[in-house]
Amino acid sequence: MRVLTIVFSFILTFDAFAQVDTVFTQLRGIEDSLGNTQLYYRKHYEIVDSFYGEWDNSVYHYNLSNNVDSLFLWDHNVDYIGYSGGEYIADYEFWDNNLGKFVYSGAHVANFDTSPFLSRFDSGDILPWHYALLGPEVENVEISFQNDSLLYAVILYYLLKSEDGGFSWSYDSLATNHYTLIKLSPFNDQTLFSHGGYPLTHNLYKSTDGGITYHLVDTSQTWYSYRSKIYFDPDSLHLYAVNFSYPSGYNLLVSDDAGESWNILSTHTASLNLAVDNQQSGLLYLSVGSQIKVSSDYSATFSDFATLNRPVIGMYKKPGTDLLYAATEKDIYEISAGSITSIKSLPVAIEPGSQPMPEDFVLYQNYPNPFNSGTTIEFYVPQTSEIKIEVYNLLGQKVRTLWEGLQLAGQHQLRWDGRDETGREVASGVYIYQLKTDGGQQNKKLILIR
């Protein structure tokens, strides 16, 4: 669950904060009715100081046929004295790859309170007001590939269903409502994959009757809707998944029996992304950090495909071609055999070697921010030194030590997964991360959303 309650605090001892570097945080794609690729990406920036906060993670549409960018869905929040307001986009899906026909979900934020919403392209909020009692946001929405009128969505552990194209929604209060939808099968709109919730364990479950009953299909790790992704091969039997499971890291999993059982193929400390080709069975692209690998035998073997200059944050495979689109925090690339072309770039704030490096220690703003499953903290060390980087709550209590010891000169990154020293997930809210050196300390705020 990701709770969107925003905590605001006036602690004047903290440093003032400026706008952070703008970065890409998501890449998706579809093919329109003419076979043209349409990319959808998010850009994130944030401004935070002691009295004002603003962050944006809006969705943009990049039309490759005419090289035109446009704002698609607004995801923005402002926070200042006595007020917080905006909108958070959790998910969006298209009918039959029709650019003008879509449904989207998330939460409205007003005066530090949140309310879930579901909207169609041609209507405003379509959830009754009392659905806000079920949970803070609509986390996921799925459209049937077999029946345009059938949609599923989820609020917390409640499965919502629409049978009229998303104009009206209902849930069965007597049904088993302790499962959170991760993915709907494109081959059968009664087959759902969900993770368990309280009082169940966070294992993976499968339903073959539209969410009425479920059976257990994986107990090897914890699954969560916001950090677990499932992909379907065109043969309908092979499924692939990327899942972050503490403390092992990022796991690549495969199923060869339509999701009835799963095997962990590999575990990595670097983040993973997958892309499949819905016209070529057995073809799978895997990014591990900045490296992209390809398999043509259902993940049995992989070969090197491309290496980018930064970790990959998302990929999209153009069906039936040799084209792959991949995004890092600063570029969106078009990749084919032997060719890597940046088709969209964002300015780089600090590029080693491109300008003089700072003469003192620097603690940069984390990204993404707000975050739910993990965030990156960058810092600069002018000479090899003993340093400490810790996370505190607003009561001044230490939550986690991320680094303590000798650090070489240069620019470095750390990753915080939103857990404390014992491995338990900490609550949503505002936290302070701190860089301590012999010469003093630097503090910055970050916002965790469950």
pLDDT score at 179? 87
Percent of the chain with pLDDT over 70: 89
pLDDT band (50, 70, 90) for residue 1: very low
Residue 436 has pLDDT above 60, yes or no: yes
Residue type (1 letter), 47: I
pLDDT band (50, 70, 90) for residue 19: very low
| Counts for the chain of helices (H) and strands (E), in that order | 0, 35
pLDDT band (50, 70, 90) for residue 352: very low
Q: Is the dihedral of CA 111, 138, 117, 54 positive or negative?
A: positive
Q: pLDDT tens digits, residue range 305-346?
A: 999 989 999 999 999 999 999 999 999 999 998 799 999 998
CA 56 to chain CA centroid, Å, is: 14
Q: pLDDT tens digits, residue range 400-428?
A: 999 988 887 777 888 898 999 888 889 88
Residue type (1 letter), 235: D
How much helix, strand and coil, in percent to the nearest 5, is found in the chain?
A: 0, 50, 45
The residues, any chain, with a CB within 8 Å of residue 229's CB and separated by 6 or more, are 182, 183, 241, 242, 243, 274
pLDDT score at 412? 82
pLDDT score at 353? 43
Is there a contact between 45 and 352 (Cβ–Cβ < 8 Å)?
no
Is there a contact between 290 and 310 (Cβ–Cβ < 8 Å)?
yes
pLDDT score at 205? 95
Query: What length is written for the chain?
Result: 450
pLDDT band (50, 70, 90) for residue 207: very high
Residue with token string 């994130």: 44
Q: What is the mean pLDDT of residues 441-448?
A: 86
Q: What is the mean pLDDT of residues 225-231?
A: 87
Domain range annotation of the chain: 23-345, 362-448
DSSP state letter for 302: -
pTM, to two decimals: 0.74
Average pLDDT, the chain: 86
Assigned CATH class of 23-345: mainly beta
Is there a contact between 31 and 97 (Cβ–Cβ < 8 Å)?
yes
Q: pLDDT tens digits, residue range 266-294?
A: 999 888 999 999 999 999 999 999 999 99
Q: Which CATH architecture has domain 362-448?
A: Sandwich (2.60)
Torsion angle, CA of 232/235/238/241, rounded to 10 degrees?
-10
Residue 175 has pLDDT above 70, yes or no: no
Q: Which structure tokens are listed for 437? A: 């050196």
